[in-house]
Amino acid sequence: MPINMLELLHDSGALMDGHFLLTSGRHSDRYIEKFRLLEQPRHLDQAAEAMVAGIEANEVDVVLGAAVGGILIAGAVARILNKRTMFTERVDGQMTLRRGFTLAPADRVLVVEDIVSTGGSVRELLAVVQQSGAGVAGVRCLVDRTLEGIDFGLPAQVLLRLKIDNWEPRDCPLCRDGIPLEKPGSTGKAR
């Protein structure tokens, strides 16, 4: 049975309403706290199963995600495909492989991401793969917060497109209404 990602977000408590400061610096009235989803092995496994749909194990050598949430997702997807898993970390604001992780030119890498808002993290992961000389087998994302989608220039699949409004702080209607601003988890990304 196909996964209903929106239902999974609701059931896990991951989809929240309020007034949130996003990593980008913009404000939003909804926020996806992916760790409410990822903390439940059953939910993580359901999402990972959906992410690998249509992928043949022989098409992938490595599953790559970004620290922190991407570690869990990449590990779950890699376990299903029985492939190696790696993650990147930020060093001086730059996404990089550490901890002895290396990609070989012959590696076919599946890039996985949790929540896509601008596509910046996926592009950084793709750059890491390209700099290593490895090939990209595809991109899989849990949620894309844009209705129009983001073109990464290669095959990409998203489990759920969920348009979530966001505004520059000066244009935020929630600020004008005096609703307190919450700052959920942050990736440490430079803006």
DSSP type of residue 109: E
- Predicted pLDDT at 22: 84
Strands 108-116 and 62-66: parallel
Sequence ranges of the domains in the chain: 5-176
Topology adopted by domain 5-176 = Rossmann fold (3.40.50)
Q: Quick one: which of 7, 58, 24, 43 has its CA closest to 166?
A: 24
Q: Which residues of 129-139 are buried (b: 16+ CB within 10 A; e: fewer)?
A: beebebebbbb
- Report the chain's mean pLDDT, rounded to a whole number: 90
pLDDT the model gives residue 48: 95
The pTM for the full model equals 0.87
Binning pLDDT at 50, 70 and 90, where does residue 1 land? low
Using the predicted structure, report yes or no on whether residue 24 has a pLDDT greater than 80. no
Residue scoring higher pLDDT (22 or 190)? 22
DSSP 153: S
Ranked by mean pLDDT, the top range of 18-22, 39-43, 77-81 is: 77-81
| Confidence check: pLDDT of 138 > 90 | yes
